[in-house]
């Protein structure tokens, strides 16, 4: 049974949508439809669709840089949790891996910057306390622009976390490989990533325990 379907082809790269992708559109429709009715449901579904266009651009950032270094890209598949670009082989040089990994988050930074410059997102954030932002978000173009700005900032920051399989983790490994080689860099990368995960887990448990005793 086929689990994904091609919806476009860009620069020789198939853009596929997984059969479960509709779940994220449904989620957006429910999230905005419950408080705002049919208009909100349509707004929520369209908002998710535009967000995943940003995800496609993110993955194209990786893919086009990979192609520039002679690495074939099989396809990009959109899932409810994000996008995946499948490359035929891994980069042979650390600097190539660094640039390929960095290209995706840089696309989100560029999109967020364009939204900041072309809209009044900056003025909205400057004049509205963060806790009040959610209360002011109603279906409409201003909300969509603000939401997309914040989403692209989040996508860039989240992907720069220095742990596998995030782009930041691949960037860290590439930097380590420049002096240590891929094999030792991968081992160091795994150890540091595991340590970071353990540290975050312990911190979360401590904070939860403190919260329960207060």
Compute how many other C-beta atoms are within 10 angstroms of the C-beta atom of residue 87: 16
Residue 88 catalytic? no
How far is residue 139's CA from residue 145's CA, in Å, rounded to a whole number?
11
How far is residue 32's CA from residue 138's CA, in Å, rounded to a whole number?
9
CA atoms within 13 A on the CB side of 103: 21
- Sheet with 13-18, strands from edge to edge, namely 4-10, 13-18, 73-79, 82-87
> Is 78 in contact with 3 (CB distance < 8 Å)?
no
**Which residue of the set 47, 48, 54, 59 is catalytic?**
59
Instruction: Characterize 132-164 residue by residue with b for buried, 16 or more Cβ atoms within 10 angstroms of its Cβ, and e for exposed.
Output: eeeeeeebeeebbbbbbbebbbebbeebbebbb
Compute how many other C-beta atoms are within 10 angstroms of the C-beta atom of residue 193: 19
Compute how many other C-beta atoms are within 10 angstroms of the C-beta atom of residue 167: 23
Chain centre to alpha carbon of residue 207: 27
The catalytic site residues sit at: 59
């Amino acid at each position: 049974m086929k689990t994904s379907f091609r919806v476009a082809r860009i620069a020789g790269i198939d853009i596929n949508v997984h059969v479960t992708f509709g779940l994220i559109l449904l989620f957006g429709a429910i999230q905005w439809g419950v408080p705002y009715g049919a208009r909100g449901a349509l707004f929520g579904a369209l908002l998710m669709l535009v967000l995943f266009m940003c995800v496609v651009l993110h993955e194209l950032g990786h893919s086009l840089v990979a192609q520039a270094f002679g690495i074939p890209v099989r396809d990009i598949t959109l899932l409810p949790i994000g996008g995946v670009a499948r490359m035929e082989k891994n980069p042979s040089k650390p600097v190539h891996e660094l640039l390929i990994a960095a290209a995706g988050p840089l696309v989100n930074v560029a999109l967020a910057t364009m939204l900041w410059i072309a809209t009044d997102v900056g003025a909205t954030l400057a004049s509205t306390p963060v806790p009040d932002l959610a209360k002011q978000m109603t279906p409409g173009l201003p909300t969509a622009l603000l939401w997309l700005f914040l989403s692209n900032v989040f996508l860039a920051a989240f992907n720069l976390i220095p742990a596998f399989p995030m782009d930041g983790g691949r960037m860290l490994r590439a930097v380590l490989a420049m002096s240590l080689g891929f094999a030792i860099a991968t081992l160091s990368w795994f150890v540091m990533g595991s340590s970071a995960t353990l540290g975050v887990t312990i911190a979360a448990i401590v904070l939860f325990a403190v919260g329960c005793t207060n």
